[in-house]
Amino acid sequence: MNNITYHAPKTIAEAVSLLSEVQEARILAGGTDLIAKWKKSHFFDMNLVDIRNIGELSVIEEREGRLFIGAGVTMDRVCENPAINEKFPILAEAASKVGSVQIRNLATIGGNSCNAAPSADTVLPLIAYGADVCIVSKSGERRCALKDFFKGPGKTALEKGEMLKGFSLPYPAHGTVGMFVKHSRRPGMDLATVGVATVVRLDAGKIAGIHVVLGAVGPVPIDVEGLDVFVGKEMGAASEKIAGVCTDAAKPITDVRGSKEYRSEMVRRSVALCLEGSSK
């Protein structure tokens, strides 16, 4: 028999107090991952904490000179929001490639991170734009860089009693160009075989800043390190080398979506494609 207790807190305070008190708490935001997992794992018992009534989790607004996106904002709102489209266009693009229309109407940007799937689409641009996560618990609020949030497939830095409140993104400097590639078997609806987000700033053809994040090619999203050496270099000359560094950073495995060799090749090609797009 299913043993589920349903809770519908109206405030963050109520929610975090529930999370610290009850056993087997599961947060229901969009439910698109949770319910699938619940069905697949033989209907485990849970204290279901539905956070959809908490208004503060669904805001998109400017705070402290940065953009705050609540964890409960659905993917369709991410796709359509003018501020996101203007300042963080590849976040909107990545959100538009999550699941299907029906999924995007329910799934949330916070859930996409908290589910911690290596293939999560919106995580890549968020990291590339340098997003921080705001984590709340009964004892207060803490922040960390999103890139440090992921601890393994399905594992995050969230401790018991904590929940994700939202993302805080610094506005990119003028001249910054983001590019996103989701390589999948089927354009219609699929998980990424390889995902790539790049955020590049050029100054007279020379690289002034570069950030590359890879998805589905390791246990957690990979924020490629060691790209600072290319700052000051001509993009045209450096792009092949950067793609090489990224390919070396990827740790793909073979699964039903693709072999590690193919994935590796798609990382190289997708990064090159992004960099080429950034210089246009």
Among 41, 159, 188, 225, binds other proteins (CB under 8 A): 188
Q: Look up residue 168 and give its two tokens.
A: 């805080």
Closest CA to 73 of 219, 196, 88: 88
| Rounded least distance, CB 266 to other proteins, Å | 7
Residues in region 77-106 near other proteins by CB under 8 A: 100
CA distance between the termini of the chain:
59
Task: Check binding of 183 to other proteins (CB under 8 A).
Answer: yes
Helix axes 260-278, 235-249, angle to 10 degrees: 150
Closest CA to 184 of 122, 88, 101, 263: 263
Q: List all residues 6 or more positions away from 74 whose beta carbon is below 8 Å from its beta carbon.
A: 30, 58, 104, 105, 106, 107, 108, 109
Task: Check binding of 187 to other proteins (CB under 8 A).
Answer: yes
| Rounded least distance, CB 258 to other proteins, Å | 6
Among 13, 59, 189, 237, binds other proteins (CB under 8 A): 189
C-alpha 132/C-alpha 151 separation (Å) is 16
Smaller CB separation from other proteins, 77 or 268: 268
Beta bridge partners of 260: none
Q: How far is CA 34 from CA 25, 43, 110, 230, in A?
A: 12, 11, 13, 41
For the sheet containing 25-28, what is the strand order? 4-7, 46-50, 25-28
| Rounded least distance, CB 273 to other proteins, Å | 8
| Rounded least distance, CB 154 to other proteins, Å | 16
From the list 22-30, 58-66, 219-227, 265-273, the region that binds other proteins by CB under 8 A is 265-273
From the list 10-18, 164-172, 211-219, 250-258, the region that binds other proteins by CB under 8 A is 250-258
C-alpha 280/C-alpha 277 separation (Å) is 5
Among 164, 266, 271, 274, binds other proteins (CB under 8 A): 266
Task: Check binding of 2 to other proteins (CB under 8 A).
Answer: yes
Among 14, 50, 56, 190, binds other proteins (CB under 8 A): 190
Smaller CB separation from other proteins, 25 or 266: 266
Among 117, 191, 216, 242, binds other proteins (CB under 8 A): 191
- Name the amino acid, one letter, at 176: T
Smaller CB separation from other proteins, 7 or 260: 260
Residues in region 20-79 near other proteins by CB under 8 A: 42-43
Q: Binding residues for other proteins, per CB under 8 A?
A: 1-2, 42-43, 100, 183, 185-191, 256-259, 262, 265-266, 269
